[in-house]
């Protein structure tokens, strides 16, 4: 194609995609049917993962639940069975260990089938200043929040590519868009998870495997217990989010093949501003929003949970 034609094609499609996204803001797109899909959720034993399990089961999907916590997993299985029409399977899997992921993934493929919606949700945080964070815990954060995504993709993506059908859902955080005080491990792991998910999405497009979709989710603080103690400085502007609401937004985004989901919407504006504002101005706004002191009251989950 010559320069003129290719430039014209690019401009026309660019304007079309802008208009399309504006239309979708007003008229939400059709939601795809997930009944019969095999949905694997890591970290399904509590919080967002557990609610996603219940909601996907109620939509008729077969859900495969992974967690390191047996008690939490049992509770999620019971609730998913009570609320859903689909089948519910559960496996203890330590997502910080590559071999454990590969072993349990093989078991899932044999016992349940090929996973068609993979939700990397398991996550941990230290909640301390970098120099006070033990090396072993820093490594653990990267293993659970980032490396587990590599190994689960290695395990389940080949079948999605072969069928040109699937969905990769990455539950990251707005901490993956902007650094923060006392969350260096968490931010590093979430930045990496976003870069990884975006790159695999690019690979799928380059391979013309456009039936394999990606949704990257970046929520602000959610009231699940993971960030227990953390308070928003301006709760009316940026409230700590309700887990039910977040899970519902995630399900809608997946069913509409939405590539990126920031919750609440103000994160879109904040991310845009950060891309061109002087650093001092960005830091001023972050300070105004309470970003420097937010983790001062952090308690997190008790160690034995």
Residues that bind ligand NAD (CB under 6 A): 42-43, 45-49, 67-69, 72, 93-96, 121-124, 144, 171, 173, 219, 221-222, 224-227, 301
Q: Taking a C-beta distance cutoff of 8 angstroms, is the pair 300, 127 a contact?
A: yes
**In the complex, least distance from residue 85 CB atom to ligand NAD, rounded to whole angstroms:** 24
How many angstroms separate the CA atoms of 80 and 50, rounded? 8
Q: Taking a C-beta distance cutoff of 8 angstroms, is the pair 150, 96 a contact?
A: no
Q: Taking a C-beta distance cutoff of 8 angstroms, is the pair 241, 196 a contact?
A: no
**In the complex, least distance from residue 55 CB atom to ligand NAD, rounded to whole angstroms:** 13
Q: Which of 153, 186, 268, 288 is catalytic?
A: 186
Please list the residues that pair with 64 across neighbouring strands. 40, 89
Identify which of residues 84 and 176 has a Cβ nearer to ligand NAD in the complex: 176
Identify which of residues 60 and 225 has a Cβ nearer to ligand NAD in the complex: 225
Is 186 a residue of the active site?
A: yes
How many angstroms separate the CA atoms of 239 and 243, rounded? 12
**Reduced to 3 states, what is the DSSP secondary structure of residue 215?**
strand
**In the complex, least distance from residue 48 CB atom to ligand NAD, rounded to whole angstroms:** 4
Residue nearest to ligand NAD as judged by C-beta position: 47
**In the complex, least distance from residue 240 CB atom to ligand NAD, rounded to whole angstroms:** 7
Rg of the chain, C-alpha, whole Å: 20
How many angstroms separate the CA atoms of 275 and 190, rounded? 18
Q: What is the widest separation between alpha-carbon atoms in the chain?
A: 64
Identify which of residues 203 and 242 has a Cβ nearer to ligand NAD in the complex: 242
**In the complex, least distance from residue 228 CB atom to ligand NAD, rounded to whole angstroms:** 9
**In the complex, least distance from residue 75 CB atom to ligand NAD, rounded to whole angstroms:** 10
Identify which of residues 49 and 86 has a Cβ nearer to ligand NAD in the complex: 49
* CA pseudo-torsion sign 94, 72, 248, 272: negative
The single residue listed with the structure tokens 């996907």 is 56
Identify which of residues 138 and 161 has a Cβ nearer to ligand NAD in the complex: 138
Identify which of residues 196 and 209 has a Cβ nearer to ligand NAD in the complex: 196
Residues noted as catalytic: 186
């Amino acid at each position: 194609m010559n320069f003129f034609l290719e430039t014209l094609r690019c401009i026309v499609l660019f304007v079309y995609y802008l208009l399309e996204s504006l239309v979708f803001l007003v008229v939400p797109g059709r939601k795809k049917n997930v009944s019969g899909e095999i949905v694997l959720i890591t970290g399904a034993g509590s919080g967002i993962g557990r609610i996603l399990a219940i909601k996907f089961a109620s939509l008729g999907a077969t859900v495969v639940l992974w967690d390191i916590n047996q008690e939490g997993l049992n509770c999620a299985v019971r609730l998913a069975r009570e609320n859903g029409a689909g089948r519910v399977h559960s496996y203890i899997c330590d997502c910080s260990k590559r071999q454990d992921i590969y072993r349990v993934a093989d078991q899932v493929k044999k016992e349940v089938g090929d996973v068609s919606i993979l939700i990397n949700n398991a996550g941990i945080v230290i909640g301390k200043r970098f120099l006070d964070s033990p090396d072993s815990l820093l490594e653990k954060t990267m293993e659970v929040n980032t490396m587990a995504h590599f190994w689960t993709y290695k395990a389940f993506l080949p079948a999605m590519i072969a069928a040109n059908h699937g969905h990769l859902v990455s539950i990251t955080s707005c901490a993956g868009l902007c650094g923060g005080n006392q969350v260096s491990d968490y931010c590093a792991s979430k930045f990496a998870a976003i870069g990884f998910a975006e790159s695999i999405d690019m690979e799928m497009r380059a391979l013309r495997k456009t039936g394999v979709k990606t949704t990257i989710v970046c929520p602000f603080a959610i009231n699940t217990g993971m960030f227990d103690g953390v308070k928003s400085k301006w709760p009316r502007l940026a409230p700590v989010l309700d887990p039910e609401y977040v899970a519902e937004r995630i399900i809608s985004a997946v069913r509409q093949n939405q590539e990126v989901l920031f919750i609440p919407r103000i994160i879109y504006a904040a991310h845009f501003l950060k891309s061109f504002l002087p650093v001092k101005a960005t830091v001023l706004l972050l300070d105004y929003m309470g970003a420097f002191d937010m983790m001062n009251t952090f308690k997190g989950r008790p160690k034995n949970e």
